[in-house]
C-alpha cells in the first residue's frame, strides 16, 4: 500500500488539530469537512506519480492560511496589539 509523504502527513495532522480545537471558536463541522477532504485527497494521490501530488501540499497550505480567518473574532478590541506593543517596548 502506498504511503503518504511526510509533508502530506503534516497537513493531515494540522487539519485534524484545527478540527479538534474548532468547537471553542466556531462551528466545528467546517473544520472536519476540510480535514476529511484533505485526508481523502492525500490518500487518493498517495499511489500516484502525478504532478498534482507535488502541487497539492501547496494548495493545502494556502487553504490552511485561509482557514485561520475562521478563528478571528467578530469584534476587534485591539487588546492583544496593545499588550504586544508594551512587550516590544519592554524587550527592545
Q: For residue 81, tell me if it sits in a domain.
A: yes
pLDDT band at 26 (very low <50, low <70, confident <90, very high): confident
Q: What's the domain range around 25?
A: 6-91
Tell me the pLDDT tens digit for each residue of 4-20. Answer: 999 999 999 999 999 99
Tell me the pLDDT tens digit for each residue of 55-79. Answer: 999 999 999 999 988 888 788 888 8
DSSP three-state, residue 87: helix
Q: For residue 10, tell me if it sits in a domain.
A: yes
Q: Specify whether the CB–CB gap between 47 and 2 falls below 8 A.
A: yes
Q: What does the alpha-carbon distance between residue 63 and residue 38 come to, in Å, rounded to a whole number?
A: 10
Q: For residue 1, tell me if it sits in a domain.
A: no
Amino acid at each position: 500500500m502506498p504511503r503518504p509523504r511526510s509533508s502530506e502527513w503534516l497537513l493531515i495532522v494540522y487539519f485534524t488539530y484545527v478540527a479538534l480545537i474548532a468547537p471553542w471558536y466556531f462551528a466545528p463541522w467546517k473544520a472536519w469537512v476540510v480535514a476529511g477532504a484533505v485526508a481523502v485527497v492525500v490518500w487518493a494521490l498517495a499511489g500516484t506519480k502525478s504532478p498534482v501530488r507535488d502541487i497539492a501540499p501547496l494548495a493545502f497550505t494556502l487553504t490552511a492560511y485561509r482557514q485561520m480567518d475562521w478563528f478571528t473574532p467578530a469584534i476587534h478590541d485591539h487588546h492583544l496589539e496593545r499588550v504586544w506593543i508594551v512587550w516590544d517596548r519592554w524587550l527592545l
